[in-house]
A and B are shown apart, each in its own frame.
Chain A
Amino acid sequence: MRLDVEQVTWEVETKRILNEVTLNANDDEFVGLIGPNGSGKSSLLRCIYRSLRPNAGLISIDGGDIAQMTIRDSARKTAVVLQETPSEFDFQVEEIVFMGRTPHKGLLDRETDEDRRIVAESLERVGMTEFADRNFWTLSGGEKQRVIVARALAQQTRFLVLDEPTNHLDIKFQIGILDLVKGLRVTTLAALHDLNLAASYCDRIYAISDGEIVASGAPEEVLRPELIRSIYGIGAIVQPHPKTGRPHLLFYSDNGH
């Protein structure tokens, strides 16, 4: 599955949140999106998963313009893991994962054995099989996030969008979730706050600032001290990670901390 975003612009009132953003993700590529708070990361992802409609530009999946597709068709191509979605209504873990089958079911369709197999398999892949009957509310943050990933897996798409998937998770689950996604071998676009995680997992990274792409390329090309300084306003030392050889960033404040 291939994603192409061409010159996408999105405005609220007169403020331009995204300014002619162009990016792409190739088949099975893990692409990261980094940038400070308010830079437009989430807005760009929203345009891609159709929660927002861009004012201009083209977004296509495997060459097909998503604006021409029904929402349902898009949902069969793109699964999304958002930050934990709060709900006032409690569901069982299994029911949440079954929701991933929604875009594949017609109004009169019932759950088939195939659906049940897919749901069971999705739960197993995130290690939540024993939690199937639990109420979502009773889970910890990390468990909840894994259930949401399982729902995305049950959607069985070849393209996955992740918006800060590791927020609020301890380091074990951060790495667990990203290992899991990386192992799926599907095209992935992930907005990541943690630059070291981005460096470790992304094949390519786009840096976005004030609604514009300011750098793109392999992690070692993008994650340079000058860029970190220009978009985050802080100092950074970049070293190769002694174990993985990937870039590793050490941050410092100009006040000597």
Chain B
Amino acid sequence: MSATVSLLVIALLASMTAAVTIGPVAINPVVVWKIIGAHVLAIDGGDWSNAHDNIVWLIRLPRVLLAGVIGASLSVVGAAMQATVRNPVADPYILGLSSGASVGAVLVILFGLNVFGLYSLSIAAFLGALGAFAIVFLLAQHRGRLTPVRLILVGVAASYVFSSVTSFLIFRAQESRQVQAVLFWLAGSVAGAEWGFLTIPAAVLAMGTGFLMLQARAMNGLIAGEETAVTLGINMSRFRKQLMAVASLLTGVIVAVAGSIGFVGLLMPHAVRLFVGSDHRRLLPVAMLAGAIFLIWVDVVARVVVQPQELPIGVITAIVGGPVFLLLMRKHSQAFGGGRA
């Protein structure tokens, strides 16, 4: 098993390197690593140009890393949400967090509420996600317990309400340039990534995945059955709240930094299950790495296909990922209810 993880780590490093070399200006992979090495070890200069240095260190590397972090987070949080609501069609946005975030982000874009300077958009989106979380968390409880059906229904209802508010705001917008900006944000993107945008998502990813890995056994019990989980010693009412809080924190940060990128969080966990099964102790690390690799490549496509323009990454995830996933599913025909019923 650790062989799979090692292989994926190598694939991830290779993908990152390749992704940094690709762009309007092609850069030799060896030079890429020299530049990274020089910056990490704080060595000045070398046999590469200043322009290359800037492209690698300031533009492409943070973007590739952000794509990786976001892809990994989406994939992990998708698996966590699917366990939380015990439903295979759950994705990171099922609790309405992205819709809540949209309201915050759209307010900033349309009305220029730049209270927090450069980070206004992200902070507003995060606050929106937090608000959605609070509403869903409170309304979905029944006698102090969260049940999957209530969570999904309240989440979906909240989503619709927030989406309506967003649509209303867009409808009332004065300038088409603003509308374009909003639509681009809504589709999700890792464009404009800077080192400053990386720290928090990376830290939250590390903590969130760490927590989920520790609770992997309990997550297995949970998806095996609500009552089964109790009989295996899992304090369900507490555990589901913890899961929901962690998944929501991860989702909130993802949406704040990259908008709502669809598909990855829904289908990456399923794709990984086809290969390693449902045991979260294997599923989570593999999903994390696979999600990172997937989004890094999708982002490469996003910035290369219609140069010099860029496509929102969220537009491509599904176009690329959907058919691949369907092919996988057909190959593993026994999965997803294909067995002897």
Contacts and interface: CB of A to CB of B under 8 A. Distances in A.
A38 interface: no
Interface of B: 82, 86-88, 214-215, 217-218, 220-221, 223-225, 227-228, 230-236, 273, 277-279, 334-335, 337, 339-340
A82 B337 contact: no
B87 A78 contact: no
Given A87-B223, A91-B277, A140-B340, 20 more contacts: A49-B230, A49-B231, A72-B235, A82-B225, A82-B227, A85-B225, A86-B225, A89-B82, A89-B223, A90-B273, A90-B335, A90-B339, A91-B279, A100-B232, A105-B217, A107-B215, A137-B339, A137-B340, A138-B334, A155-B232
Nearest to B228: A85
Contact of A72 (B214, B228, B233): B233
Contact of A85 (B227, B233, B335): B227
B334 A135 contact: yes
Given A71-B234, A102-B232, A95 B227 contact: no
A174 B309 CA distance: 67
Interface string A128-164: 0000000101111000000000000001000000000
A99 interface: yes
Contacts of A138: 334, 339-340
Contact of A137 (B230, B236, B337): B337
Which 9 residue pairs are nearest across A and B when measured between Cβ atoms?
A75-B233, A103-B233, A85-B225, A72-B233, A137-B339, A80-B231, A138-B339, A102-B232, A89-B278
B4 to A, nearest CB: 16
Nearest to B341: A137
A139 B234 CA distance: 26
A90 B86 CA distance: 12
A132 to B, nearest CB: 13
A50 B230 contact: yes
Nearest to A111: B281
A46 B225 CA distance: 14
Contacts of A14: none
B227 A79 contact: no
B235 A71 contact: yes
18 contacts: A51-B230, A70-B235, A75-B234, A78-B231, A82-B228, A82-B231, A85-B224, A85-B227, A89-B278, A90-B339, A91-B220, A91-B278, A95-B220, A103-B233, A105-B217, A137-B334, A137-B337, A138-B340
B86 A71 contact: no
A43 interface: no
Contact of A99 (B224, B236, B340): B224
B224 A91 contact: yes
A111 to B, nearest CB: 9
A108 interface: yes
B334 A74 contact: no
A46 B339 CA distance: 31
A75 B218 CA distance: 13
Nearest to A74: B233
Chief secondary structure at chain B's binding surface: loop
Interface in A21-54: 46, 49-51
Nearest to A92: B277
Contact of B224 (A46, A87, A105, A137): A87
Given A95-B220, A99-B221, A99-B224, A89 B231 contact: no
Nearest to A86: B225
A49 B278 CA distance: 26
A114 interface: no
Contacts of A78: 231
B210 to A, nearest CB: 11
Nearest to B216: A107
A96 interface: yes
Contacts of B235: 70-72
Given A82-B225, A85-B224, A103 B232 contact: yes
Contact of A90 (B87, B214, B221, B278): B278
A110 B225 CA distance: 23
Contacts of B337: 137
Given A99-B221, A99-B232, A89 B227 contact: no
Nearest to A104: B233
A88 interface: yes
Nearest to A49: B231
B86 A88 contact: yes
A204 B327 CA distance: 56
A65 to B, nearest CB: 17
A76 interface: yes
Contacts of A73: 233
Given A102-B218, A135-B339, A137-B339, A95 B279 contact: yes
Interface string A216-245: 000000000000000000000000000000
B224 A96 contact: yes
Contacts of A140: 340
Contacts of A50: 230
A102 B87 contact: no
A15 to B, nearest CB: 16
Contacts of B217: 99, 102, 105
Contacts of B228: 80, 82, 85, 99
Nearest to B236: A71
